[in-house]
Structure 1
Amino acid sequence: MTDLAIAASGLRKSYGTKTVLDGIDIAVPAGTVFALLGPNGAGKTTAVNILSTLISPGAGSGPVRVGGHDLVAAPQAVRGSIGVTGQFSAVDGLITGTENMLLMADLHRLPKAEGRRAAAELLERFDLVEAADKPASTYSGGMKRRLDIAMTLVGDPRIIFLDEPTTGLDPRSRHTMWQIIRGLVAGGVTVFLTTQYLEEADQLADRIAVLHGGRIAAEGTAAELKRLVPGGHVLLRFSEPQAYEAAAAALRGAGRDDESLSLQIASGGSQRELRAVLDELDAAGIEADELTVHTPDLDDVFFALTDPADLAAVPHQTKETVR
């Protein structure tokens, strides 16, 4: 537990009769990226708000430690070790980028010289020097988001909460933000990330938890979560009906689509399984016009775990942490 930047046991929160978090456990090793996924209203932002001391844990919650400090007994110490970038930018559009940075330095009570040094270094680090003396209202969405994170780093936090940091950004700006996050982690920072973009979690997170109905439906690495969901297959397409029929006869058990002249063979996507399919075709003297391999991705996992119609198809072990 001493290597955990964030450790929460049985975290609960209700508003009236509505239960938002129903006893979730969270463990985030220091220097890693932890991603919390879930549909709108799943409780992701509520979890971030509790762990960042913005709201209190609900009755019946277990112990919570952030940065080695007890969340309830020492909230000020927790605040001193974290930074938070929320869904909505904290940037003040009426003042310049530099002035936003110096404002954060003042809030952290940094000496004037140290605050100016930190602001200048972070503006350069986030490629905002040319725009530093312009009103933040003139910044693009990506620039505002970079400034937002730069402001979060003024106090040199070792744990950063990023609540949907790339929402609304174009693909180039999103990739820039990913590079920034990777750079932070390479420097030893722990990142707690919530996101609606499954590719983002796949790209960045060391561990991922899927929040649904107030509970953690599954947790593990991206690879572990993908293995929980069936549906991997090899798809073969043919242009000639004769070749299609011959392949169907050779590959018994393959799913047929007579309209598109395609066959679907269940597969986990391994090299051995793919070679077996190709060997069967070679032995029968058949060549497919098109071959594609589909393995379950985080989209499949997300839909299976958060759609009640699909939940029954997910193996029971998805209700637990994947080891």
Structure 2
Amino acid sequence: MREASAFVLDRLVRVSMGPITLLLGATLLGIRDREVLVAAAAFGAAMWLPTTALLFRLTFFPRLADPGMLDRSDRPFSVSDLRLLLRTRLAEHLLGTLPLLLLVTATQRLLDVWVAGLVALTGTTSVVWRMLRVFLDIAVQDADLDTAVGQHRRAIARLGFLSRLPGFGDPGWMVLARAHFRDGNPAGSVDALNHVRRSDWRIAGLRAQMGIAVLPEEELERTRDELADGDPEQASIALVIDGMLRLRRGLRLEPRHVEHFNTLPEGEPRRLGALLVAADEAPTDPGAAAARLRSAGIDRARLEAMRGNWPAVAARIEPLLPEPPPGRVR
């Protein structure tokens, strides 16, 4: 009931603001013809109807969720519905921008020549810049969705184009780093992370984990030591980096590594810990290592990217991963 009320209220505001904005702009431009004003009001309301119909379907009649697709709140979702939602939001933003440009033009008509030029420049620039920022935000989310469903190359190509536009920021570089990582290109991941400027995101540990195969050992050791002196979360990442370094050098993990990896939080951290422990066990106890990989849900679908990102780990566990059944696409 609350969701329905929120939807109806939002739509009423949208459909009301369309006619109001167009009528205001037309009035400022000196238009007084009743038929023209009625047509403008009707158009202002009608232009929101297609997106309203789409949002009604998405809100009240969503498609079945795709297997394994969870949002940040761990709620299942449909990939096609989310794509449609993102594009509908972009369309609504463009619709909302058109009346603003009309108001800028109308205001310009009421002012002196030099002031009018200033208003036209600043007003149009502000509207276009805002439109570009929203476009980039939605396009990055769409590319992130490509990465989530395994279309890494498509995401990389799209983000590579977007990165050349003004306003492409840290969220886009993070998604690009993740896309390169899932495509097995650690150098691309490191390059993308080098563009991130927000210090509060603390990307040093992520950069070391993604670039373990390509970064110099001295740099990895320095990052590990710096993180080890930080808070518990950073110290945990330092142990992961240290374990990766030992496997890269062909060494065994120490008991403290194994104990820590077995207690990592559920989800990707626990899966990473299981992967590292399995790689450590593989030469001496392949049965236990294979069972650990099965329990963590690690199969050959992850192997191709792993060969590029963590070659030492991939080489150890590859013989333990069963081939897919005949006829099944990897």
Q: Which is bigger in relative contact order (C-alpha 8 A, separation at least 6)?
A: 1
Give your verdict on TM over 0.5.
no
TM-score (norm 2): 0.23
